[in-house]
Amino acid sequence: LTISDFSHTAVGSLAEWLADHSIMLAGALRLVLQALSNADLSVSTVSTLKRICRECRHHLRPHANDILTASQEVLVKQIHKTTQIMWLMQALGYLLSSLPDEEILGKLLSLLSPHIQQLERLANETVVVVLQQVFPLIQTLLSKWLKETEVVTAACAVFEKSLKTLIRDFAPLVGQLCELIGQLFSSYPQACALDLTRQLVHVFACEKEHFPPIAALLELVTSITMAIFQHGAQDHPDVADSFMQLHTQVMKRKPDVYLTGGLDIKVVFYCGILSFKFPETPTVKSTCLLFVSQYLIKTKSIGGQSRGLLEHQSEVMFSVSRYCPTLLSLQLRDALQPPGFPSALLTPEQKEHFCQQVLRYRWKMRDVIKEFSLLCQGLPGVEYAASY
């Protein structure tokens, strides 16, 4: 194989010389085209053919049919890898550009027709059916390459893109995918598995029929991540980051899952507090987002409720606005967007004014939150407000 590779590489390096000595071109092409169907010589033969077609394009017309026939045969049989296929198509592009205009279209159609027909067949198949057929293959690959981060990340990316494309049509695969993620994360915890779980929560949070396996998966990954934190998670900042993002999504989309008893919110907060000690900025930002989301969910200012926590709320908002102002701005506006939240008495203008005040006047945060609390309760200007 080494001698064959060398000989084809040598022919390729003589491509410019062959352009000036076209009498030798037929012999060189015969050598290259005979080896084109040999997968072991893929790189050297395809790159050589590409060089010859590029440098000798004006002398290739007598050999066009031979080159097209040999190329079409290897393309149909899928002998070469993606990179070599791209090189081969470039070579054929050089070849076709040297032919008369009336011949190009016919040869181009004969070259592309099999691939167009294959695309038509795939287009008629339901995507989820294709995924169900591919699923066992991906499982087998992952079982053999479980600790290879690149392989696991690529597999998770396939399912994540499928989820984003199919959305609820992905439902038939939810159970299988949850089981696969659980096996992956139990054997070797990786961030991409948590990111894929977060996407499942985002899509199927409101689907009662399909959420039970996702809830079971959440319990499993939370338990495993808790064990990682107990043994020191400093070596896994990416897992901590993705874990915080996952539970932020759960709090937004399916907060009642914490009330079932299987998922303990205290475990999440414990991991979150430890995550504040991480030196990695993305992990700390994701942790802040988790606590801000929970804070906004739990601190609705409704008339009649105790105001004893006002001081603590001010301290939390001050800290978040100091260290994560951009994140707070986005999340605060997003949280206040729903009509009637946190009070039906508020106008959109008052909400926007509050967001601006929080970011602009950190040094008087307590007064800003006090004013907003009174607006929520419809109490500004009354006698009670003066003593508040």
Query: Nearest 5°: CA angle at 132, between 130 and 134?
Result: 70
Residue with tokens 């060189």: 28
- Asked whether residue 307 falls in the same domain as residue 286, the answer is no
Please check whether residue 317 is in contact with residue 365, taking contact to mean a CB–CB distance below 8 angstroms: yes
Which tokens in the block code for residue 140? 């087998």
- Asked whether residue 186 falls in the same domain as residue 320, the answer is no
- Asked whether residue 285 falls in the same domain as residue 362, the answer is no
Task: Inform me whether the pLDDT recorded for 62 exceeds 80.
Answer: yes
- Nearest Cα residue to 200 out of 253, 154, 237, 150: 253
Alpha-carbon torsion (345, 350, 355, 357), positive or negative:
negative
**pLDDT one-digit tens code per residue, 93-115:** 888 888 888 888 788 877 777 77
Q: Rounded distance, CA 313 to CA 336, Å? A: 16
Phi, psi torsion values for 125, nearest 5 degrees:
-85, 145
- Asked whether residue 51 falls in the same domain as residue 196, the answer is no
The helix, strand and coil proportions of the chain, stated in percent and rounded to the nearest 5, come to 80, 0, 20
**How far from the centroid of its chain's Cα atoms is residue 247's Cα?**
17
Residue 384: band (very low, low, confident or very high) from pLDDT cuts 50, 70, 90: very low
Q: Is 60 helix (H, G, I), strand (E, B) or coil?
A: coil
Q: Rounded distance, CA 167 to CA 161, Å? A: 10
Q: Rounded distance, CA 373 to CA 301, Å? A: 6
Residue 388: band (very low, low, confident or very high) from pLDDT cuts 50, 70, 90: very low
- Asked whether residue 151 falls in the same domain as residue 262, the answer is yes
Name every residue whose Cβ is closer than 8 Å to that of residue 320 and which is 6 or more positions away in sequence: 288, 291, 292, 327, 328
Amino acid at 384: Y
Q: What is the DSSP letter of 306?
A: -
Of 123, 158, 193, the residue that ends a domain is 123
- Asked whether residue 205 falls in the same domain as residue 342, the answer is no
Phi, psi torsion values for 307, nearest 5 degrees:
-105, 15
Task: Inform me whether the pLDDT recorded for 301 exceeds 60.
Answer: no
Q: Rounded distance, CA 339 to CA 351, Å? A: 11
- Asked whether residue 11 falls in the same domain as residue 151, the answer is no
pLDDT reported for residue 119 = 65
**pLDDT one-digit tens code per residue, 3-59:** 777 777 787 787 888 888 888 888 888 888 888 888 888 888 888 888 888 888 888
Where residue 140 sits, what CATH number does that domain have? 1.25.40
DSSP string, 136-148: HHHHHHHHHSTT-
Residue with tokens 């607006």: 375
- Asked whether residue 348 falls in the same domain as residue 226, the answer is no
Q: Rounded distance, CA 298 to CA 292, Å? A: 10
Residue with tokens 């102002």: 325
**pLDDT one-digit tens code per residue, 149-190:** 888 999 999 899 988 888 888 888 899 999 999 999 998 899
Counts of helices then strands in the chain (DSSP H, E): 20, 0
- Asked whether residue 136 falls in the same domain as residue 113, the answer is no
Residue 309: band (very low, low, confident or very high) from pLDDT cuts 50, 70, 90: low
**Mutual angle of helices 281-298 and 310-323, in 10-degree steps:** 150
pLDDT reported for residue 168 = 85
Task: Inform me whether the pLDDT recorded for 365 exceeds 80.
Answer: yes
- The mean predicted confidence, pLDDT, of the chain is 82
Give the residue with greater pLDDT, 270 vs 13.
270
Q: Rounded distance, CA 301 to CA 282, Å? A: 31
Of 266, 298, 330, the residue that ends a domain is 298
- Asked whether residue 264 falls in the same domain as residue 332, the answer is no
Query: Nearest 5°: CA angle at 97, between 92 and 103?
Result: 95
- Asked whether residue 165 falls in the same domain as residue 257, the answer is yes
Q: Rounded distance, CA 102 to CA 110, Å? A: 14
Give me the domain span that covers residue 225: 126-298
Which tokens in the block code for residue 217? 């998966």
Please check whether residue 220 is in contact with residue 185, taking contact to mean a CB–CB distance below 8 angstroms: yes
Please check whether residue 68 is in contact with residue 109, taking contact to mean a CB–CB distance below 8 angstroms: no
Q: Rounded distance, CA 188 to CA 239, Å? A: 11
Q: Rounded distance, CA 200 to CA 169, Å? A: 12
- Asked whether residue 107 falls in the same domain as residue 160, the answer is no
Of 298, 317, 341, the residue that ends a domain is 298
Q: How many domains does the chain have?
A: 3
- Please give the average per-residue pLDDT across 336-345, as a whole number: 81
Query: Nearest 5°: CA angle at 17, between 13 and 18?
Result: 95
Report the percent of the chain where pLDDT is more than 70: 90
